[in-house]
Copies of this chain bind each other. A is one copy, B any other.
Amino acid sequence: MQIHITASDGVPIYLQVVNQIKYLVAAGRLVAGEELPPIRTLAEKLVVNPNTIARAYRELEMAGIVEKRRTAGTYVSDQGSPLARRERMKILTDRIDQLLAEAGHMDVSLDEVLKLVQQRYSVIHTSRLKDANDV
């Protein structure tokens, strides 16, 4: 499991770990039931305090991405779980509400927003020359 952390690109270490594991799961590079490295092991590899990884794993558990089996390790959870999906949609919905509120302030219409979303999507998925950081 290759995870790199960029020392202080502003994003906290624990979040970098969370994001990259989320990405690995979304991309199918980590499948349901698979065991994540133990906290200490990953911490050692990244030269980081175990607590930092523990926090990342905790967030991932709250997000429904992984399950912890007390003394037996941490495992990728069954992703299709409806709760997980509902949770995820809730997050997206919140973000979208924020976006629409902002657009309202700015007197930008729904059509313009939709157009902009498509536009940005193209930009992001075309120029794949960016670093793997901004997952």
Contact = CB atoms under 8 A, between A and B. Distances in A.
A48 interface: no
Interface residues of A, number: 36
A26 B120 contact: no
What is the oligomeric copy number?
2
A117 B114 contact: yes
Interface string A72-91: 00000001000000001101
**Majority-rule SS of A interface residues:** helix
Contacts of A114: 114, 117-118
Interface of A: 19, 22-23, 25-26, 79, 88-89, 91-93, 95-108, 110, 113-114, 116-118, 120-121, 124, 134-135
